[in-house]
Every structure is written in C-alpha cells, then in structure tokens.
Amino acid sequence: MVVMNMTRTKSAGFALEKSLADKKKRAREVLAGLHKLYPEADCALTHEDPLQLLIATILSAQSTDVTVNKVTPVLFQRYPTARDLAEAPPAEVERIVHSSGFFRQKTKSIQGACRKIVEEFGGKVPDTLEQLVTLPGVARKTANVVLGTAFGKNEGIVVDTHVGRLATRLGLTWTSKDGKDAVKIERDLIGLFPQDEWTFLGHALIWHGRRVCFARKPNCPGCTLERHCPSAGLFNEAGDFRG
Ligand code: SF4
C-alpha cells in the first residue's frame, strides 16, 4: 500500500514518506522513545474500579484531571455503587460535580449510565466496546479509556486533544489534516502501532503533550523525540506553526 503523505519539509529526512512501511518504521522509533521517556505512563484519573474510572472519564470532558480528582472522592464516598448513584437525588449529584463544568448534563449522563448498568448489566460496568457505547454519556473515547485502563483490553486508541495534536505533529496521521478528526486519527494510529501498545500509546502521548509538546510553544529543543518528528523546530517564538 502506498501512502503519499507529504510531511513537514524541515529536512530531507522527512520530505516524503512513500509507504506505510516507512511510516511504521518511524512509528516504532517514536514508540521506543515514548517507552524510554514514560515507562510508567498511565491514566491520571484516580480510580479503584471500572465504575469509578467510567464516572471520572465522563466528568473529565471539558475539565481537568486535577479538578475531577477532587470531585470523585466525595462522590464515591457518598454513593459507592452504581445503584447508589442511579438512585441519588440529581440535585445532590449536581452539587458535588458542579466544579467540573456542564454539571447538569454530566449528572444526567452519570445517573443514566448507572441506571443502565444496574438494569441491564447486573450492576457491573460492561467490558465490550459495543456495550459500553450504549451507556448514556459514553462515546468511543470514554469506552476506550475504560477498556484499556480498567480492563486491560486494547480494543482502540484514546484520541483526546493531546493525542490528536501530537499524532498530527509527529506525522502519524495522514487522513486527518487538522488533528481534530478523532475517528480518522485513531484509524491511522491503529494501522501503525501493534495492538498490545494501544493503551500505552494513548497514555504516553497525553503525558508528552502535557509535559513537552504543549499546544502553544512546544519545547522542541528539549524533546527527545525531535529527531523522529517532522514538525521539530517549525514553531516561531510565539509558538505558532511556521512550516
Ligand atoms: S519535536 Fe516539537 S513538535 Fe515534535 S513532538 Fe517534540 S515537542 Fe512536539
């Protein structure tokens, strides 16, 4: 299969990757670099079981992990099971999750998901993608987080804003041009990386996006992936891309 993807032309080395094999070779190098950098990369949302991770991930939309990690201990202490959460007074759940933003919608999603878990899955979070995405407030990204981190199943790759940005900058997606089409990005990444690395890859790219490859002003000079990255050094002092 020939993939004619013109990557950033900072240097001849990245001028044109003609084949999927070329891309896979560089993907292997990026992966090795990420393992070296973040051997313990993991989910930053505090949780003790699949239900807690599911709820925390729903709450993390448009919020920060730090904020969610302050909210969830209170929520889970008050309502420890799916049934407890499903039967809780909505106003009380809203009050607890308020600081995470979009608290009314998130409360509806949390309680709807818990209700369905109780009524249709015996009180246990289901462990397949098909079942997870039937829960209110759960789309593919949240399902991938739960499957990979709580159940150790590599069924997909989590594509959030960091993963989208890094996949684009690192030239690991070619069907999505702006780093925002999560479905296309996930499909490209799945084609490049071995399945048993998918969960690690999502976590490690998120860590790298938070610590080095910032949305504004990525730290290319301090990035150990620089020699594998077609975007390295292509940002001006203001942090804008000038490739
Ligand atoms: S070299 Fe720069 S653009 Fe590439 S991954 Fe590192 S920080 Fe990001």
Ligand 1 pocket check: which of 36, 211, 213, 240 to mutate, most ligand atoms within 8 Å of Cβ? 213
For residue 235, report the distance from its CA to the centre of ligand 1, in Å.
10
Q: Which of 125, 150, 175 is the last residue of a domain?
A: 150
Q: What is the pLDDT of residues 98-145, one digit of tens each?
A: 999 999 999 999 999 999 999 999 999 999 999 999 999 999 999 999
Query: Amino acid letter at 40?
Result: E
Interval 60-84 mean pLDDT? 97
Q: Is residue 118 part of a domain?
A: yes
Torsion sign (Cα): 181, 13, 229, 221 = negative
Q: What tens digit of pLDDT does each residue of 148-190 get?
A: 999 999 999 999 999 999 999 999 999 987 778 999 999 999 9
**pLDDT-derived band at 4, boundaries 50, 70, 90:** very low
- Say yes or no: 144 and 163 in one domain: no
Contacts of 17 (CB under 8 A, 6+ apart): 3, 5, 7, 23, 26, 171
Question: Residue 120 is part of which domain span?
Answer: 50-150
Q: Which residue has the higher pLDDT, 240 or 209?
A: 209
The answer to whether residue 241 sits within a structural domain is: no
Residue 3 has pLDDT above 80, yes or no: no
Give pLDDT tens digits for 7-23.
444 444 565 576 889 99
The pLDDT of residue 6 is 41
How many Cα atoms are found within 13 Å in the side-chain-facing hemisphere of 90? Answer: 11
- State the distance from the centre of ligand 1 to the C-alpha of 63, rounded, in angstroms: 24
Q: What is the pLDDT of residue 10?
A: 47
In a domain, 82, yes or no: yes
Number of domains in the chain: 2
Q: Does ligand 1 lie within 6 Å of residue 204's CB atom? A: no
Instruction: Give this prediction's pTM.
Output: 0.89
User: Using an 8 Å Cβ cutoff, are 46 and 73 in contact?
Assistant: yes
Amino acid identity for residue 219 in this structure:
N
Of 81-90, 98-107, 227-236, least confident by mean pLDDT is: 227-236
pLDDT of residue 14: 61
Q: Is residue 7 in contact with ligand 1, taking CB distance under 6 Å? A: no
Report angle CA 100, 119, 111 to the nearest 5 degrees.
15
Residues annotated as part of the active site: 141, 160
Q: Which of 151, 122, 119, 190 is nearest to 54 (CA)?
A: 151
CATH number of the domain that residue 211 is part of = 1.10.1670.10
The alpha carbon of 61 and the centre of ligand 1 are apart by a number of angstroms equal to 25
Ligand 1, closest atom to CA 224?
6
Q: What band does 233 get if pLDDT is binned at 50, 70 and 90?
A: confident
Residues 144, 170, single domain; the answer is no
pLDDT number for residue 178: 76
pLDDT score of 243 = 61
The predicted model gives 211-233 an average pLDDT of 94
Q: How far is the CA of 166 from the centre of ligand 1 (A)?
A: 8
